[in-house]
Structure formats: C-alpha cells, structure tokens
C-alpha cells in the first residue's frame, strides 16, 4: 500500500493499479495535492484525439458533461482505493450524483482540474463535493457518492 501521508502525486501507472479503467475510458491523467482520502486534485489533459470529439460535435468539439462527471468520479475512486484498499484489489462503484451543473464548455487543449473534498464516509460508502475548473473558470460541479467493494461484489 502506498503511504498517502507523504504522497503528493498519483501518476498514470499508479492509476492503472487503483482503477479498472483503460483507454478510452480512463479520464484522469494524474492526481496532485492529495491529502489521504479527504481531498485531492485530479488532472485531465483534454486532447482532440479523444474518440468522443468525432461526434460531439463535428466542427465544434465539446467534452460531454457525462465524461466530466466520470472524471470526477474516477478522481474520488482513485483516492478512496489508494487509502482504503490495504494492498488488495478493490473496486469503487459510482452510486449517486447530486446537483450536477455545467457552466462552461470544455474543449480540446484545455487542462481540466478536478477538485474533490470528502463530505462524509459511512462504512464503505463515500460522498464527495466535486468541482471542475479550466484555468480560473469553474466549468462543472456535482456531489458524488461511491462504494468500495472487493471485485467479487462482497464489501
């Protein structure tokens, strides 16, 4: 298990260990400024080569809001798994989303910064306040709940 008290960044190779997602569905590139499972910042470098830009929208590429929400959930999931997996493979399932708001389009070339702050934990269920920014502009926000389980579905 990684010592999270001194870890400042989770890079892509560590994300592969913590999350089951792979291209094209791994939507964060690294996690920075992490403090245990209480807060973290995820980074997503948005590039034109991503498959959703072919159809969303031709000539006016915009990152789908649902993928911004998924990037938020993956940031939450990675820090929960990093802190609570105790060296064993665990899965973090997205449970709920509340208060989602999209304020500005995210386009290729943007660096999406996802800030998550833990609101509550009850057993293996976690609730996070999430915001996404591009530069100084808030582009999205939501409150996300997730549950950590072992891969067989036993919590």
> 13-48: per-residue pLDDT in tens?
899 988 989 989 999 999 999 999 999 999 999 999
In sequence order, the 6+-apart residues with CB closer than 8 A to the CB of 87 are 1
Half-sphere exposure (Cβ direction) of 45: Cα atoms closer than 13 Å: 5
137 is catalytic: no
Give me the torsion for CA of 69, 4, 134, 103, rounded to 10°: 40
Closest among 107, 93, 95 to 135, alpha carbons compared: 107
pLDDT of residue 87: 75
Band of pLDDT at residue 7, cut at 50, 70 and 90: low
The answer on pLDDT for 1 being more than 70 is no
The answer on pLDDT for 3 being more than 50 is no
Cβ atoms of residues 142 and 130 within 8 Å: yes
Per-residue pLDDT averaged across 60-83, rounded?
Answer: 96
Report how far residue 7's alpha carbon sits from residue 41's, in angstroms, rounded to the nearest whole number: 13
Residue tagged active-site, from 52, 56, 133, 137? 56
Report how far residue 132's alpha carbon sits from residue 53's, in angstroms, rounded to the nearest whole number: 19
Report how far residue 92's alpha carbon sits from residue 33's, in angstroms, rounded to the nearest whole number: 21
Band of pLDDT at residue 8, cut at 50, 70 and 90: low
Domains and CATH numbers, the chain: 9-149 (3.10.129.10)
The answer on pLDDT for 153 being more than 70 is no
Q: What are phi and psi of 38, to 5 degrees?
A: -90, -30
> 84-127: per-residue pLDDT in tens?
887 788 899 999 999 999 999 999 999 999 999 999 999 999 99
């Amino acid at each position: 298990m990684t010592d999270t008290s001194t870890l400042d960044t989770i890079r892509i190779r560590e994300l592969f260990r913590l999350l089951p997602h792979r291209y094209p569905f791994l939507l964060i590139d690294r996690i920075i400024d992490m403090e245990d499972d209480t807060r973290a910042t995820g980074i997503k470098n948005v590039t034109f080569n991503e498959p959703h830009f072919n159809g969303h929208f031709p000539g006016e590429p915009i990152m789908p809001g649902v993928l911004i929400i998924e990037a938020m959930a993956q940031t939450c999931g990675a820090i929960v798994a990093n802190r609570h997996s105790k060296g064993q493979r665990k899965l973090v399932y997205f449970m709920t989303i509340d208060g989602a708001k999209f304020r500005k389009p995210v386009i290729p070339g943007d660096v999406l910064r996802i800030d998550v702050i833990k609101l509550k934990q009850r057993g293996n269920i976690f609730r996070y306040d999430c915001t996404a920014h591009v530069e100084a502009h808030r582009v999205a926000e939501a409150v996300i709940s997730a549950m950590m389980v072992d891969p067989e579905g036993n919590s």
